[in-house]
Amino acid sequence: MNSDQRRSSGALLVSLAIAVMLLTGAGVKAEDGYRLWLRYDPLPQQMIELYRPRVTSIVATGGSATMDAIRVELAGGCAGLLGGPVLVAEKVDRDGAVVAGTPKSSPLIASLNWPLAGLGPEGFRIRSVKLGGRAATVIAANSEIGALYGAFHFLRLLQTQQSINNLNISQKPRLQLRMLNHWDNLDGSVERGYAGRSLWNWQELPDKVDPRLRDYARANASLGVNGSALNNVNANSRSLSAEYLRKAAAIAGVFRPYGVRVYLSARFSAPIELGGLKTADPFDPEVATWWKKKADEIYQLIPDFGGFLVKANSEGQPGPRTYNRNHVDGANMLAAAVAPHNGIVIWRAFVYDMKEGYDRAGAAYGNLQPFDGKFAANVLLQVKNGPIDFQPREPFHPLFGAMPKTQLAPELQITQEYLGFSNHLAFLAPMWREFFDSDTFAKGAGSTVTKIADGSLYNQRLTGIAGVANTGSDLNWSGHHFAQANWYAFGRLAWNPDLASKQIADEWIRMTFTNDPKTVSALTRVMLESHESLVDYMTPLGLHHIMWGGHHYGPAPWWDKEKRGDWNPTYYHRADERGLGFDRTKTGSNSVSQYHPPTRDLFADLKTCPEKFLAWFHHVPWDYRMRSGRIFWDELALHYQRGVDWVRATRKEWDKLANVIDADRHAAVAKKLAIQERDAIHWRDACLLYFQTFSKRPLPDGVEKPRKTLEEYQAKSLAW
């Protein structure tokens, strides 16, 4: 080949490559998942034609950073979705303007004289109107952050291909504080993080701020998440040092235009470690003064600082009880320090001291319930959804409905500590729905957890919810492409805890993958079934905490080596010749009595207890007759098998989508699903072989033979 030929064949290759790229839409960007659900790729032509006349220009006047963000998001988002530039204008001079802002930022919105008071500080209204005879869409709010939320909502309508004719939408968040809790350490590691390293680069801060943090804030704002606790609740005092506060202030500066306020986890003994005091006793005036001064210093640097998040006297953390004071003494002392700045204290209820013969499931109630009505007005008591610890399934925490005079905030875990890390596809909205929909009967029928969380049951003044984040430095943020859906679901439920799982899944799929109806319905089904299937192959029928010690990945029901008895799976499942499960009724720990009747009685009676909670509340005889007519042992085994079958079917389903999902993400998810199948088989075999040593019964028909021996499963934990 001479050089001319080489050149021309090279040119041909290039033009071919371009043609292929144009046809497939590939090559523009690797589909690495970085854009989350905020992808603004062109919609199908017929949608563009429908939308185009209604989106010709963006009118979002005002010079603040938040108004800038609104302009950029709307103009960039609409241009991307509509496949061509959208004008940014000062006024409405044509049909199709999208006007966004507040009565203060926009004379136009002011001139409408809309009654906006009912929207509160963060709500928005979106309406199709005529302005000076021209068709326009107005996104109005009392605050710029409200307008930003409205802008994201408008974009979501486009992304999910909803009609934008005759819009008349008013929304406001049901809970006030909607925050992520990051268990990020100062060395860049993330406790229970499965998506790389921490997003905060403490080494480089404050001089260098990763531009990615802006995208983190955008993603949160798109859901209405308005708080971020930056550091691990297993806190290092240094987070509160002058040096680290300057770093946190730099982060707060990036988050501010997006309405995300920064919170910090406070180590209770910081006055000793940072302040050189001899004690951290909350009744010591020097200690109280130290915290007051610390709060003043923080607010100097971060004027909109949210407040402190505290894990005290839990799992080795210091706390007021270290000094013979109680939780209220500690929380209220900190609350007094931040109160002058309108800050708050979020005190965690995750407290369970090990005592001989005690039941961990009843411990938080025992520790905190007696303090009902004693916490200061700016304290939220943050309670995990279930009484033990973010298990694949737990009944709701009995503190919900038991502290009518205390401001409770649910804590959910978005990161999948006990749910297969970021290797397993498990959409958590259905699990959280089950929690929110639980009826506590605290004030009669209909006293759901939702009504406690949103403050309506007890007129709770300050409301909130936290999700332990699953974000990290991985390009796709959450480790598994589908784990992004859990961040999304958390934010959407924090905004409106009545949203249906199906709607959340549907929105997310459309925004993240495709609007193709067949694919949307196939993926919605997969997502909605995924959590129950994970429960099937991990902890069916009320089993819990049977994971490998320490890392909590994979099964180890035989595990009994932890220094604390209540960290051992054997403590929880109590398998013996008679049966399986923890008796929490009168004949056992009786912690079922922490629930109100009739829930209490329902759970306490083996016959009426929902089967999904059977081994949670009862020591169930192996031959107990289940509703299906099968004995408990057989039913248990079939659940394990069902979980495995589901993963296999899902792999097939996913394979079928190879030509509708981009190659990069398709391959990445396929790889994860292969791991999930391997793990599900491992779970089934290891658990059934182990429990069989007690049940002494054969596996029922339909359950596959284990692949290895029990000894082999016991010898080595699942690798991840």
Closest to ligand GCW by CB, 192 or 684: 192
Residue 53: Cβ within 10 Å count: 11
Share of the chain residues as helix, strand and coil, in percent rounded to the nearest 5: 45, 10, 45
Q: 389 catalytic, yes or no?
A: yes
Q: Closer CB to ligand GCW, residue 547 or residue 703?
A: 547
Residue type (1 letter), 610: P
How many residues touch ligand GCW under the rule CB under 6 A: the total is 11
The rounded distance, in Å, linking the Cα atoms of 508 and 38 is 10
Nearer CB in complex with ligand GCW: 160/234? 234
Set 187, 315, 437, 601: catalytic member: 315
Active site residue 191: no
Residue whose CB is less far from ligand GCW, 71 or 348: 348
Which residue in 389, 394, 507, 536 is the catalytic one?
389
Q: Which residue among the candidates 73, 122, 417, 474 is catalytic per the annotation?
A: 417
Name the minimum Å distance from CB 220 to ligand GCW: 21
Residue 221 phi/psi, 5° resolution? -60, -35
Q: Which is nearer to ligand GCW, 118 or 550 (CB)?
A: 550
The nearest distance, CB 350 to ligand GCW, in angstroms, is 5
Min CB(411)–ligand GCW separation in Å: 8
CB contact set of 671 (below 8 Å; sequence gap of 6+): none
Interaction pattern, residues 201-240, with ligand GCW; x per rule: CB under 6 A: --------------------------------xx------
Exposed (0-12), middle (13-18) or buried (19+): which is 118, by Cβ within 10 Å?
Answer: exposed
User: Whole-angstrom Cα distance, residue 521 to residue 510?
Assistant: 10
Spatial CB neighbours of 17, under 8 Å, sequence gap ≥ 6: 27
Q: Which residues contact 370 (CB under 8 A, 6 or more apart)?
A: none
CB of 265 to ligand GCW, least distance (A): 9
CB atoms within 10 A of CB 593: 17
Prior bond of 206 cis (ω within 30°): yes
Least Å distance, CB 65 to ligand GCW, is 33
Q: Are 392 and 419 in contact (CB under 8 A)?
A: yes
The site map against ligand GCW for 379-398 (x = CB under 6 A) is ----------xx--------
Closest CA to 307 of 416, 120, 177, 205: 177
Distance CA 678, CA 672 (A): 10
CA dist list (Å): 135 to 96, 132, 689: 6, 9, 68
The answer to the question of residue 311 lying near ligand GCW (CB under 6 A) is: yes
CA 19 – CA 26 distance, rounded (Å): 10
Least distance (Å) from ligand GCW to the CB of residue 389?
5
CA distance 444 to 441: 4
Q: Which is nearer to ligand GCW, 364 or 609 (CB)?
A: 364
Residue with the CB atom nearest ligand GCW in the bound state: 389
Residues 408-437 that bind ligand GCW (CB under 6 A): 417
3-state class (DSSP) for residue 181: strand
Q: Which of 191, 273, 284, 353 binds ligand GCW (CB under 6 A)?
A: 191
Closest approach of Cβ 388 to ligand GCW, in Å? 9
Describe the crossing of helices 517-538 and 501-512 by its angle, rounded to 10 degrees.
120
Q: What single letter denotes the amino acid at residue 585?
A: T
Least distance to ligand GCW from the beta carbon of 237, Å?
Answer: 16
Binds ligand GCW (CB under 6 A): choice among 154, 194, 290, 350:
350
The Cα–Cα gap between 685 and 704 comes to: 9
Distances (CA, A) of 287 to 269, 277, 314, 456, 713: 10, 8, 21, 36, 51
Nearer to ligand GCW by Cβ, of 54 and 552: the residue is 552
- Catalytic residue at 273? no
DSSP output for 484-528: HHHHHHHHHHHH-TT--HHHHHHHHHHHHT---HHHHHHHHHHHH
Which two tokens mark 360? 């961990």
Q: Which is nearer to ligand GCW, 418 or 441 (CB)?
A: 418
Give the x-and-dash track for 313-342 against ligand GCW (CB under 6 A). Answer: --x---------------------------
Q: Toward ligand GCW, which CB reaches closer, 200 or 390? A: 390
Q: Binding to ligand GCW (CB under 6 A): which residues in 150-189? A: 183
CB of 347 to ligand GCW, least distance (A): 12
d(CA 442, CA 451): 11
Query: What are the residues binding ligand GCW (CB under 6 A)?
Result: 183, 191-192, 233-234, 311, 315, 350, 389-390, 417
Which residues are catalytic, by number? Answer: 315, 389, 417
